[in-house]
Structure 1
Amino acid sequence: MNPTTRPRPYPARRTVLRTAVTASLAAPLLGACVTSGEAGGGAAEGAAKTADNPLGVKADAPLEVVVFKGGYGDEYAIRAESRYTRQYPRARIDHKGLQRVGEAMQPRFVAGDPPDVVDNTGAGRLDVATLVGAGQLGDLGDLLDAPALDQPGKRVRDTLLPGVVDDGTFGGRVVTLNFTYTVWGLWYSKPFFAERGWAYPKTWAEMLTLCAAIRKAGVAPWTYQGKYPEYLNDPLLAVAAKTGGPDLIRAVDNLTPNAWRQPGLTQAATVFAELAGRGYLMAGSEALSHTEAQAAWCQRRAAFLPCGSWLESEQKGVAPAGFDMVMGAVPAAGPGDRLPVTAVQAAGSESFLVPAKAKNPAGGREYLRMLFARESARAFAEANSTLPAVAGATDGLRLGSALGSVRDAVTAAGANTFTYRFRTWYAPLAKAVDDATGELVNRRISPADWSTRIQKAADALARDTSVRKYTR
């Protein structure tokens, strides 16, 4: 997760796929708990639900939309607003494109005066788990069961890629819906590799052999966004997931005792300790921001870069002509892996929600129905070289090397996509994992220390009765 664009699911990332409001910001939300519900006082009275108006939108009710104006801009959101205005010409739309959504929205949630739709993305975004615990988020179930706008015979939920609905589910209720589909992997320049005769590795043993050859050629094998070590957590946790399979992922997310001491995780930590110990990380990477590390990679100072699928959009104007970046699945750890080498970490990002206290909640959900229409998603993909969460949105499009490789990776993975949920559910644990991985790859702690340190944080979280727990 790039700290400004990711979702984290687990990016967003990056920081796509993931940071939350600090404890000092989140605490007032807990102290200002509101009654759960689809709307608070002053909500617009809904209209009758019909085939043409399945969510019961009041035609003249104002609509306020807040969108994170990051790497994707906000033109795609404005386009959906135009469609809303055509459908409801008497509705006035108040659009706000913001950089730090959490800082601007937190006081409004506390005051019980939130917008009707919020794109809760970017650095300092609101902690969804805190909002859920405070009863601040509306249920999107009726949106998901509403007819898709441009796919006859399908509900909205039927048009979404695998895992998108699950990503937004808390305690059995869907409270967020992610517009982009982020895939995490290892990035490289296809022409650069072809020029040097390097083949993308399928196993970790092949990776280490290739890294030795790359370093011998005078290039750093890897760099990473050192100020945000979660970037390196993505491939590390992917190695663990492939080794231990779904059972390992569930144990981590469910705060199962000793989950972080599972062999798959300790082996993955050992793999990355070895990568660092052999000197295969570019010197000085620890001090680099995401933009600095990615710029160095575009300058061919390093061969591999871990990142989510927003990378191409973020590197526009930075990557030189002919760089042709592509993404590969994280190599397999060994022959005993529970998931195939083609398995990829994938999850929704660019997280939209309708607050429980929205004045026009039906309009907020209707706006999302328009945003998640295939036509809207297709236009977004063309403009941003990013995979939307709507299945088939890129069919027939001429895709560049990056987005084409992401789509191919999702196709090759098939049912073997995976994601961890602990990042979304438990922000303090996510930070503990990030910090430990940063220490690991800078050779300040051992793999055993890494495991023990994170397990201690997970145990403390499990014992904390003030934190609502989730299971999968």
Structure 2
Amino acid sequence: MGSTSAHNNEGLGRRDLIKRSAALGLIAVPTMSFLSACASSSSGKDEEKSKGKVTKDNPFGVAKGGTLDVVIFKGGFGDQYAIEWEKLYKAKWGPQISHLGTQEITGKLQPRFNAGNPPDVIDNSGAQQIKLDVLHKNGQLADLTELLEAPSYDDPNKKVKDVLIPGTADKGFIGGKMHALQYVYTVWGVWYSGKLFKDKGWEVPKTWDAFLTIMKEAKADGIGGLAHQGKHPYYVNVMIMDLIAKTGGLDAMKAIDNLDPKAFVGSDAAKQSIEAMYEIVEKGLLMPGTNALDHIESQTAWNKGKAVFIPSGSWLENEQLKQTPEGFDMKFLPMPLLPGSKLPFEAIRAGAGEPFVVPEKAKNKTGGLEFLRMMVSKEWSTKFAQEANSLTIVQDGVDKSVTLRPGTTSAVAAVDACPVEQRFDYFYTTWYSEMDETIRTASAELMAKRIPPNEWLKRAQAAVDKAAKDPASKNNKRP
């Protein structure tokens, strides 16, 4: 996937697409083996001995020289953007920078966390991310409150929190404190080929019935209606959860994040939504074989015209650059509406994704914090847009001269059409990883026709009820 956060928050867990005039702001060799990590284990008191003078331009007291250890999830956004960032960081602070781009975040980094020798900056994303709530419970994440309160890089008279799109920092809060900088402003929904729609004479479907009609017509022509990334049910959950939020309104979304005893069982919105998704399965509108495919396989089949629709976040375009045919004209589609939906068609899930963290026991924690501060500068935000074809959480964070690709342009247009109060985003994927995994597994079973909708609802509610019994859950609350 792209970010978590493409496959998670996945992802995901990932990946302000907002009015540009208002606020644009979307297997490697390890640097150290397990044994050498143990040999150089840090106790957490082992930060760089020398510290620079604390000033408004250097709020964390970064020292010149030294080292900086950076690990980046090399998923939908690649890692070239980070390599460009590192050049800028090195030019200012002069450290020797160790860079690792990988999709094996847990495999490469769990031993280092265990040994007390984690990197200084981590893009902790993808299907193999280390769960943020687990790292938090183990006390392994630095508190980023001081980052929010620090002077911003571009204008020291403003704090970092003041240059971010309102609300985007909230996604990084766990247990009442900020522990992750969710950097990419992502739009989630369904995607299609503008060329295919033009060739077939199809109109953009705004209702669920119109959505199904297109898929039925496609099936008659030998084309799958919906492809999904079967091995990563995070993606089909994008559709399920969007349907619940749009059908039941923001209260239905918050009921899930707040572990309501009727979040799923007893929720008419959840019942209607899961039954609607199951209708796609029952009517044979899935692309054949999609349940057994990973994200790249299913997305590539979609690019080849074997399916009309596919769910994803807005990292999709960058992730599929090599597989997307010329003239494909990638387009974003907000989730079509079920009858009686409380939110309009234009309502979309949009928010922060792709969590960057600084470990509590990082050798150069001050350097890690400064790296994150520079990430929310306009220069670094623009560099990300150029290299990753996505926008960031930085307000007005992309130089106006940057040309965006069709899919990203389409996502920006969708945000333009959606008032801020009608944008929504789920937090449970970050707050309760075990609950998230249980719901994903149930969704995979549903799409494979191994369980019916009522069983899905029971399993999802059981996951909510279990999470609610965790004492730590009392610190997570959406108003």
**TM-score, normalised by the number of residues in structure 1:** 0.89
Deviation digits for residues 55-88 of structure 1, max 9, x if unmatched? Answer: 2222344322222233433222122222222222
In structure 2, the CA distance between the partners of 1:8 and 1:72, relative to structure 1 (3 Å rule), is: closer
Structure 1 residue aligned with 2:397, among 368, 393, 396? 393
Counterpart CA distance in 1 for 2:212 and 2:75 is 36
Q: Which residue of 2 aligns with 1:242?
A: 246
322, 330, 344: which one pairs with 2:327? 322
In structure 2, give the amino acid aligned to 1:131.
L
Partner of 2:5: 7
- Over 3 Å counting, the alpha-carbon distance change for 1:463 and 1:147 in structure 2 is closer
Check whether the contact 2:11–2:125 (CA below 8 A) recurs between aligned residues. Answer: no
Query: 1:446 maps to which residue?
Result: 452
Please report how far the alpha carbon of residue 272 of structure 1 lies from its aligned counterpart in structure 2 after TM superposition: 0.6
Q: Secondary structure at the match of 1:218?
A: coil
Alignment match, 1:191:
195
What are the within-5 Å matches in structure 2 for residues 297-446 of structure 1? 297-334=302-339, 336-394=340-398, 395-415=400-420, 416-446=422-452
- The corresponding residue for 2:23 is none
Task: Give the SS at the match of 1:260.
Answer: coil
Write the letter of the residue equivalent to 2:431: W
188-197 vs 283-292, which moves further: 283-292
Q: C-alpha separation between the residues in 2 aligned to 1:342 and 1:466?
A: 35
Quick one: which amino acid aligns to residue 440 of structure 1?
Answer: L
Confirm or deny: 8 A CA contact 1:259 1:455 kept in the other structure.
yes
Counterpart of 2:445, as a letter, is E
Change (3 A) 1:409 1:201: same
1:468 Cα offset (Å):
7.6
C-alpha displacement at 1:407, in angstroms?
A: 1.3
Paired-residue identity, %: 39
Deviation at 1:210, TM superposition (A): 2.6
Report 1:125-144 matches (<5 A): 125-144=129-148
Equivalent AA in structure 1 for residue 381 of structure 2? A
Q: For residues 148-203 of structure 1, give each alpha carbon's deviation from its aligned partner in whole angstroms, at most 9, with x where no partner exists.
A: 22356433222223442011011221111122222111111101101110011111
1:295 matched to 2:293: no
Deviation at 1:466, TM superposition (A): 8.0
SS in 2 for 1:187: strand
Q: Does 1:265 align with 2:270?
A: yes
- Out of 168, 175, 180, the position equivalent to 1:164 is 168
Deviation sequence 1:4-53 (CA, Å, 0-9, x none): 64205854333556xxxxxxxxxxxxxxxxxxxxx931223543321221
1:181 aligns with 2:179: no
For the 8 Å contact 2:262–2:461, the answer to whether it is kept is yes
1:456 is aligned to 2:453: no
Contact 2:11 2:127 in 1 (8 A): no
Name the structure 1 match of 2:290: 285
The C-alpha deviation readout for 1:312-352, integer Å capped at 9, x for no partner, is 11111211111111111111222x32322211112322221
Corresponding residue pairs, total = 447
1:470 corresponds in structure 2 to: 476
Cα distance change of structure 1 residues 356 and 298 upon mapping to structure 2, 3 Å threshold: same
Q: C-alpha distance in 2, partners of 1:82/1:194?
A: 44
Instruction: State the Cα distance separating 1:269 from its structure 2 match.
Output: 0.2
Return the letter of the residue paired with 2:11.
R
Paired position in structure 1 for 2:70 = 65
Q: Which runs of 5+ in 1 are unaligned?
A: 18-38
For 1:285 and 1:440, the matched residues in 2 are separated by 13
- Aligned equivalents of 1:103 and 1:347: distance in 2? 28
TM-score, length of structure 2 as denominator length: 0.87
What secondary structure, in the 3-state scheme, does the structure 2 residue paired with 1:51 have? coil
Cα-Cα RMSD: 2.2
**Counterpart of 1:229 in structure 2: which amino acid?**
P
1:252 is matched with which residue? 256
C-alpha displacement at 1:303, in angstroms?
0.8
> Does the 8 Å CA contact 1:6/1:13 hold for their aligned counterparts?
yes
Give SS of 2:349's match.
strand
CA separation in 2, counterparts of 1:359 and 1:155?
25
Q: 1:94 is matched with which residue? A: 98
C-alpha displacement of 1:137: 1.0
Per the TM alignment, residue 250 of structure 1 is displaced from its structure 2 partner at its CA by 1.7
1:41 maps to what in 2?
A: 45
